Amino acid sequence: MKMGVGKYDELFNRIKERAKLVDEKLFELIPEKEPKVLYEAARHYPLAGGKRIRPFVVLTATEAVGGNALKAIYPAVAIELIHNYSLVHDDIMDMDETRRGKPTVHKVWGINMAILAGDLLFSKAFEAISRAEISPEKKAKVLETIVKASNELCEGQALDLEFENREMVSIEEYMRMISGKTGALFDASAKVGGIVGTENEEYIEALSRWGRNVGMAFQIWDDVLDLIADEEKLGKPVGSDIRKGKKTLIVAHFFENADEKAKEKFLKVFGKYAGDVKGKGIIEEDVKAEVMEAIELLKEHGSIDYASRIARELVEKANEALNVLPESRARKDLELLASFMVEREY
């Protein structure tokens, strides 16, 4: 997600400003220290980039309920650390080789150190909660909320791993998986911000609902972009998910709606070109043509439109939830961020 597109300019500027505040405390928790290799590996993704969207949600949610965002910095850092730990471990499991334009942690330091670096980031997330300058009562609630999300994260990832061994997954199964894998941490981000800023349970509940829906929309839109985005903007070949056989909402919809013949045709391409085709006696141009045909099948069955609509509906639902909150710049920013999730082109 890159920044700077007209109506979102101010939002992006605020995200950047907040990211600076967050990074100060983030790197205080993972400084350059001994054992050097461990801390280097743990700092790799946070140093490589990332927009700190989840911390922004935490801080902005605090403001949206009338609280002081500065009180929410450490909880925001905790969420970002959880996010980064899960990236490190997921990249091992998915055998991904690059992330944020850099080689993945396990590619640089090996699997053992990557497991350990992820563990350290996870542990540091709870240290961040521990450091939060909020009442012990609020700290306990923040802990409870983040723990619930990190449990769900594991459960969502387990479903995703399980999907790999399956011929197909249903729409319902897919939605459950991303609810855990992407929805839970956005939910926790907004909710934690609410907890820090208010005692009003209705506000906190609204933020939680906003986050869950936005997180899921974010993931679905990611899957849509893989099929429709400009290859150059996206930085990877169109249809890379089809090559890898990734079970997305689009594919789940297709399988619930296509006839046997169409399914058969699709399965000839789906998951057949994982990794680099070079040196395997396969011609990239032929693969591309086959992938484009598969995408055509998805389009014909309305599967891409379906997923796009679901993503947009989730964002609407998310923003509707915020109606109980008083109007404010912070609430507006959350609404804008949600819209951006399903309007971005890369």
For residues 232 and 246, give the distance between their C-alpha atoms in angstroms, rounded to a whole number: 21
Residue of 116, 207, 214, 249 interacting with a copy of itself (CB under 8 A): 116
For residues 274 and 205, give the distance between their C-alpha atoms in angstroms, rounded to a whole number: 41
Q: Name the amino acid, one letter, at 115.
A: I
CB under 8 A: which stretch of 129-137, 239-247, 309-317, 325-333 binds a copy of itself? 129-137
Residue 148: strand, helix, or coil: helix
Site track 15-54 with a copy of itself (rule: CB under 8 A), x = hit: -------------------xx-xx----------------
Residue of 162, 230, 284, 313 interacting with a copy of itself (CB under 8 A): 162
Residue of 31, 136, 279, 281 interacting with a copy of itself (CB under 8 A): 136
Cβ distance to a copy of itself smaller for residue 164 or 202 = 164
Q: Of 324, 300, 320, nearest to 312 (Cα)?
A: 320
Size of the site for a copy of itself (CB under 8 A): 42
Binding of a copy of itself by 87 (CB under 8 A): no
Rounded to whole angstroms, what are the CA distances from 307 to 184, 243, 311?
Answer: 20, 19, 6
Binding of a copy of itself by 173 (CB under 8 A): no
Site track 218-247 with a copy of itself (rule: CB under 8 A), x = hit: ------------------------------
For residues 144 and 259, give the distance between their C-alpha atoms in angstroms, rounded to a whole number: 46
Binding of a copy of itself by 159 (CB under 8 A): yes
For residues 99 and 107, give the distance between their C-alpha atoms in angstroms, rounded to a whole number: 10
For residues 53 and 118, give the distance between their C-alpha atoms in angstroms, rounded to a whole number: 20
Residue of 105, 120, 216, 336 interacting with a copy of itself (CB under 8 A): 120
For residues 303 and 250, give the distance between their C-alpha atoms in angstroms, rounded to a whole number: 5
Contact yes or no for 29/124 (Cβ under 8 A): yes
Question: Where on the phi/psi map is residue 281: left (φ > 0), alpha (ψ -120 to 50), or beta?
Answer: left
Q: Show the CA angle centred on residue 333, arms to residues 328 and 337, nearest 5°.
A: 155
Binding of a copy of itself by 147 (CB under 8 A): yes
Backbone angles phi, psi at 103, to 5 degrees: -65, 145
Binding of a copy of itself by 92 (CB under 8 A): yes
Task: Give min distance, CB of 18 to a copy of itself, in A.
Answer: 25
Q: Of 148, 152, 114, nearest to 129 (Cα)?
A: 148
Cβ distance to a copy of itself smaller for residue 4 or 31 = 31
CB under 8 A: which stretch of 62-70, 135-143, 225-233, 300-308 binds a copy of itself? 135-143
Cβ distance to a copy of itself smaller for residue 116 or 249 = 116
Binding site for a copy of itself (CB under 8 A): 34-35, 37-38, 89, 92-93, 111-113, 115-116, 118-120, 122-124, 126-127, 129-130, 135-137, 139-140, 143-144, 146-148, 150-151, 153-155, 157-159, 161-162
